[in-house]
Amino acid sequence: MEKNQIYDKFSDVITELQSVITETTEMKQLISTLIEENAELTIENEHLRNQIMTKQSAKMQPRLSRSRENLRKLYESGFHICNASYGRRLDDGESCLECLDIIYGSNS
Ligand SMILES: [Zn+2]
């Protein structure tokens, strides 16, 4: 290869490298934009998911009357509220159908 040819070859390689650098910089900016968008969408998704969960749980647990709500609190702090065992402590992990019926049942 002659000296001139070597010089031309170098010029070509430099031009190619510059174009690769330009493309890489553009790709970096694009990725940065996509990461930002992704973060925003993740937050928005989380927010919407929470709203759906809140709406669903509101549907599944219709609001209790004040007296039932008090009984529910008492029951959840570990005491029977049913006639048969009123005030007696529930064992660990025990649940009582009569108590639950008083709180959530359709008979008031
Ligand atoms: Zn009970």
Per residue in 20-73, pLDDT (tens digit) is 999 999 999 999 999 999 999 999 999 999 998 888 877 776 688 899 999 999
Distance 58 CA to ligand 1 centre (A): 25
Give 52's Cβ-side CA count (13 Å radius): 6
Alpha-helical segments (H) within the chain:
3-60, 66-76, 97-104
Distance 18 CA to ligand 1 centre (A): 79
Distance 61 CA to ligand 1 centre (A): 20
Per-residue confidence (pLDDT) for residue 48, from 0 to 100: 94
Number of Cβ within 10 Å of residue 86's Cβ equals 13
Distance 81 CA to ligand 1 centre (A): 5
Per-residue confidence (pLDDT) for residue 2, from 0 to 100: 83
Distance 59 CA to ligand 1 centre (A): 25
Distance 25 CA to ligand 1 centre (A): 69
